[in-house]
């Protein structure tokens, strides 16, 4: 049984996603419960900033590599590794300049954590792109064990602070990168090939970086702004609730990773086959998704207190608002998959661009007048915009997926 799972690519991807997302989920909850609200809010802000950086770097380095037909060349793998390192060095220099102008001492633990966090994301994505699923799983298990053990050690010794979290987590990331280098062996310096790779990444990456930034902004600007308008405690509460819903994110990610290629296969037969398959798969997923949302609705107060302690009891309303948001996200999932399967990439970008413009225009009014309720309202409105825009595009392409759900 275990041997069959080990040889099955689909299950390797699912298990790896569970390990990666599950570790993020558990460590976030443990940190939230053992730090005060202000410290956890600051830590949440750091994580959001790092996801922003990853959006930038991934759009230039990894995403062009993922769709290239040359990705198994040794020189290309070496090029991506050193391009990643060059981006990190450039960003580190910018960070140094920022600290100098801010007249603050350089935060070495934070820098080490940021470098490790970014390189770990690169390691996972490049190994998955190379179809090295077992290696990806090994590295994720190793990193997960080290992270969990380090957090538990810091709690046991009563040394859990943001600075210590950054230092100890950096060790796990460093080990992952050292092992990655043994897999990749990024020492093939063919400058003639590298020149071609560079132009390819610039050509493709400029659009991918823009798409990544717009998507990040549409998804996170309201959350980031809450830390400025309402305070880091509100940001910490939002991130805690988002972490609780991370289980649903994991289900959606696994669902998307499996359903997209299957829907593409059915589309090669006919549009009707693809629509029918997508609708049937979504209906099956609804039972798991709906059951979890029902639990979150009925036991919202108990869940948030159990996760973060009594200090977060006042934020129970965030759980109920997030349930509404995730109902919309679930409704949008087959629409989003259809847009990707039909290779309507420009409309994928336009959808997030419109949502991002709405976010930029409205966040000041919503947060100034309604606080955290404004954050939830903004996120819900952004999701509705995506649903309406992408569904309109699908109708113009004669891909009437909504009929199969009736």
What integer pLDDT is reported at residue 153 of this predicted model? 93
- How far is residue 405's CA from residue 204's CA, in Å, rounded to a whole number? 36
Averaged in consecutive runs of 10 residues, what is the pLDDT profile of the chain (406 residues)? 58 80 86 87 88 88 76 83 93 87 82 92 86 85 91 91 90 86 84 85 79 83 85 87 83 73 74 78 82 92 88 90 93 85 80 92 90 92 94 83 56
Residue 202 covered by a domain: yes
Residues 286 and 165 in one domain: no
Residue 238 covered by a domain: no
Residues 350 and 271 in one domain: yes
Residues 160 and 95 in one domain: yes
Residue 232 covered by a domain: no
Residues 278 and 202 in one domain: no
Here the tokens at position 342 are: 């039909």
**For residues 303 and 244, is the Cβ–Cβ distance under 8 A?**
yes
What integer pLDDT is reported at residue 326 of this predicted model? 93
- Rounded (10°) angle between helices 232-244 and 372-396: 50
What integer pLDDT is reported at residue 401 of this predicted model? 67
Q: Which of 177, 176, 114 is nearest to 141 (CA)?
A: 176
H/E run at residue 288: helix 271-298
Please give the residue range of the domain that contains residue 353: 245-405
How many structural domains compose the chain?
2
Q: Of the candidates 181, 208, 235, which is a domain's last residue?
A: 208
Residues 48 and 119 in one domain: yes
Q: Of the candidates 208, 232, 261, which is a domain's last residue?
A: 208
Q: What are phi and psi of 169, to 5 degrees?
A: -65, -30
Q: Of the candidates 208, 237, 259, which is a domain's last residue?
A: 208
Residues 137 and 266 in one domain: no
- How far is residue 85's CA from residue 70's CA, in Å, rounded to a whole number? 20
Residues 262 and 191 in one domain: no
Residues 196 and 105 in one domain: yes
Here the tokens at position 226 are: 């809450």
Count of Cβ atoms closer than 10 Å to residue 347 Cβ: 17
- How far is residue 91's CA from residue 55's CA, in Å, rounded to a whole number? 13
Here the tokens at position 328 are: 């919309």
Scored b (16 or more CB within 10 A) or e, 88-104 reads beebeeebeeeeeeeee
What integer pLDDT is reported at residue 261 of this predicted model? 67
What integer pLDDT is reported at residue 4 of this predicted model? 55
């Amino acid at each position: 049984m275990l041997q069959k799972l080990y040889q099955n690519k689909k299950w390797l991807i699912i298990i790896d996603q569970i390990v990666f997302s599950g570790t993020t989920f558990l460590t976030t909850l443990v940190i939230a419960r053992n730090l005060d609200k202000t410290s956890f809010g600051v830590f949440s802000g750091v994580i959001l900033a790092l996801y922003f950086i990853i959006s930038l770097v991934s759009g230039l380095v990894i995403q062009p590599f993922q769709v290239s037909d040359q990705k198994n060349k040794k020189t290309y793998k070496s090029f991506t590794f050193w391009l990643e390192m060059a981006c990190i060095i450039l960003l580190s220099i910018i960070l140094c300049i920022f600290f100098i102008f801010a007249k603050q001492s350089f935060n070495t633990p934070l820098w080490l954590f940021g470098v490790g966090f970014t390189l770990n994301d690169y390691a996972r994505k490049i190994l998955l792109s190379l179809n090295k699923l077992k290696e990806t799983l090994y590295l994720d298990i190793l990193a997960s064990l080290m992270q969990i053990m380090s957090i538990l050690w810091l709690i046991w010794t009563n040394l859990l602070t943001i600075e210590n979290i950054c230092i100890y987590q950096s060790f796990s990331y460093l080990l992952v990168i050292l092992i990655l280098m043994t897999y990749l062996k990024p020492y093939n310096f063919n400058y003639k090939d590298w020149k071609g790779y560079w132009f390819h990444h610039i050509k493709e990456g400029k659009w991918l970086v823009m798409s990544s930034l717009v998507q990040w902004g549409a998804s996170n600007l309201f959350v980031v702004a809450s830390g400025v308008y309402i305070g880091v405690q509100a940001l910490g509460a939002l991130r805690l609730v988002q972490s609780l819903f991370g289980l649903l994110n994991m289900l959606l990610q696994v669902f998307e990773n499996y359903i997209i290629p299957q829907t593409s296969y059915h589309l090669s037969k006919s549009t009707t086959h693809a629509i029918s398959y997508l609708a049937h798969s979504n209906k099956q997923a609804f039972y798991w998704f709906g059951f979890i949302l029902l639990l979150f609705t009925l036991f919202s107060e108990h869940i948030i207190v159990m996760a973060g302690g009594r200090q977060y009891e006042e934020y129970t309303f965030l759980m109920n608002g997030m349930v509404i948001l995730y109902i919309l996200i679930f409704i949008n999932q087959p629409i989003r998959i259809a847009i990707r399967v039909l290779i309507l990439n420009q409309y994928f970008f336009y959808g997030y661009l419109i949502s991002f413009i709405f976010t930029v225009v409205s966040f000041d009014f919503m947060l100034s007048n309604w606080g955290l309720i404004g954050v939830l309202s903004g996120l819900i409105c952004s999701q509705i915009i995506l649903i309406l825009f992408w569904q309109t595009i699908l109708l113009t392409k004669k891909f009437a997926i909504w009929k199969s759900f009736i």
